[in-house]
């Protein structure tokens, strides 16, 4: 199946599948395999204690792949101040990063700098109202994270389904779906609802390349979707960043390439089902 839409063209990628930003683990070793597999890897600047370590890893990523990858600047908690990111912005510009993501608080200052340099700027937020504001500030695309996802929660946050179907009617920029997606059905469902790509965090945590103990990954695999404690934890996230309900569709710990290849293969099977019956059985 060939994917050719606004996001694949904008980012120069084969499949509209994006590796989410990760504080701590979002380095070249995770991002490069996602890019190599045909998706888009993201290197998260807040993973690096110094801007020079960030530069070294960007150089390493460029040596490891000639496929596109992006950089995320997270504006959250003690990193909300743009000044916190200044040196990292300089490094990303010097290293000729072509696509940047901002997330959390208003990313328009950082986005504006990269837009001026001719780069693509994508912002991730949780509320449709913030997506509308950021669209006015010239963003190229928006990632909307649904309530069923992990990460920053907002009282005015909708589900991934409403984000895609309703926000699609409001926003003009391409939309990227995040929150609770972890398999081909989530991927195809998001595209059908109006997303131009999917963006996943939890699902990539249960891959071989993710820098965490096997025990942690198996907890995601074994997480019961019906567990009331977990339901409360994910919907009311106050501390930490628990794996999302995407855990409900994760049954193994593949490599990133195996994970992306499986989504594409199963997406093709879903397409064939749709063509035969007009609906999934």
Ligand X SMILES: Cc1cc2nc3c(=O)[nH]c(=O)nc-3n(C[C@H](O)[C@H](O)[C@H](O)COP(=O)(O)O)c2cc1C
Measured between alpha carbons, how far is 238 from 194 in angstroms, rounded to an integer?
A: 30
Using the minimum distance from each CB to ligand X, give the nearer residue, 149 or 174. 149
Q: What is the DSSP string of 140-164?
A: SEEEEE-TTS-S---TT---HHHHH
The mark string for 88-107 relative to ligand X (x by CB under 6 A, - otherwise) is ---------------x----
Q: In angstroms, what is the minimal distance from the CB of 75 to ligand X?
A: 9
* H or E segment to which residue 203 belongs: helix 202-205
Q: Which of 67, 124, 147, 217 is close enough to bind ligand X by CB under 6 A?
A: 124
Nearest to 174 by CA among 184, 182, 164: 164
Instruction: Say which residues have a Cβ less than 8 Å from residue 238's Cβ, sequence separation at least 6.
Output: none
56-75 residues in contact with ligand X (CB under 6 A) are: 72, 74
Number of residue whose CB is nearest ligand X: 201
Contact criterion met (CB below 8 Å) for 115 and 138: yes
- Tell me: does residue 127 bind ligand X (CB under 6 A): no
Q: Output the six-digit token pair for 44.
A: 């998260």
Q: In angstroms, what is the minimal distance from the CB of 23 to ligand X?
A: 3
Q: Which of 7, 17, 21, 193 is close enough to bind ligand X by CB under 6 A?
A: 21
Longest dimension (CA), the chain: 56
Strand partners, 101: 72, 122
141-160 residues in contact with ligand X (CB under 6 A) are: 145, 149-151
The residue whose two tokens read 């596109």 is 68
Q: In angstroms, what is the minimal distance from the CB of 275 to ligand X?
A: 28
Q: Choose one: 14-22, 80-88, 110-118, 187-195; the region binding ligand X (CB under 6 A).
A: 14-22
Angstrom CA distances, 168 to 4, 161, 174, 194, stand at 18, 11, 8, 6
The residue whose two tokens read 């990227």 is 176
Q: In angstroms, what is the minimal distance from the CB of 233 to ligand X?
A: 12
| Pairing label, strands 141-145, 175-178 | parallel
Using the minimum distance from each CB to ligand X, give the nearer residue, 181 or 197. 181
Using the minimum distance from each CB to ligand X, give the nearer residue, 74 or 157. 74
Q: In angstroms, what is the minimal distance from the CB of 210 to ligand X?
A: 9
171-200 residues in contact with ligand X (CB under 6 A) are: 178-181, 200
Site of interaction with ligand X (CB under 6 A): 20-23, 44, 46, 72, 74, 103, 124, 145, 149-151, 178-181, 200-203, 205, 241, 244, 246
């Amino acid at each position: 199946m060939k994917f050719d839409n606004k996001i694949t063209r904008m980012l120069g990628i084969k499949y509209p599948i994006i590796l989410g930003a990760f504080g701590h683990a979002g380095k070249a070793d995770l991002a490069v395999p996602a890019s190599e597999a045909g998706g888009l890897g993201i290197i998260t600047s807040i993973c690096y204690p110094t801007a020079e370590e960030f530069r070294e890893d960007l150089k390493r990523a460029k040596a490891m792949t000639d496929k596109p990858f992006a950089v995320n600047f997270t504006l959250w908690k003690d990193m909300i101040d743009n000044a916190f990111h200044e040196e990292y912005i300089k490094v990303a510009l010097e290293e000729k990063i072509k696509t940047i993501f901002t997330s959390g608080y208003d990313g328009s200052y950082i986005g504006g700098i990269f837009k001026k340099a001719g780069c693509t700027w994508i912002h991730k937020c949780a509320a449709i109202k913030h997506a509308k504001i950021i669209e006015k500030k010239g963003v190229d695309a928006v990632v909307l994270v649904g309530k069923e996802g992990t990460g920053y929660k907002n009282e005015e946050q909708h589900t991934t389904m409403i984000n895609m179907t309703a926000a699609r009617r409001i926003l003009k920029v391409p939309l990227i779906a995040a929150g609770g997606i972890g398999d081909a059905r989530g991927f195809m469902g998001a595209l059908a609802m109006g997303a131009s790509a999917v963006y996943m965090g939890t699902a990539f945590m249960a891959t071989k390349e993710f820098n965490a103990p096997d025990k942690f990954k198996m907890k995601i695999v074994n997480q019961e979707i019906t567990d009331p404690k977990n339901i409360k934890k994910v919907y009311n996230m106050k501390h930490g960043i628990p794996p999302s309900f995407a855990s409900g569709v994760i049954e193994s710990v593949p490599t990133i390439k195996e994970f992306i290849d499986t989504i594409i293969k199963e997406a093709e099977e879903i397409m064939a089902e749709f063509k035969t019956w007009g609906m999934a059985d």
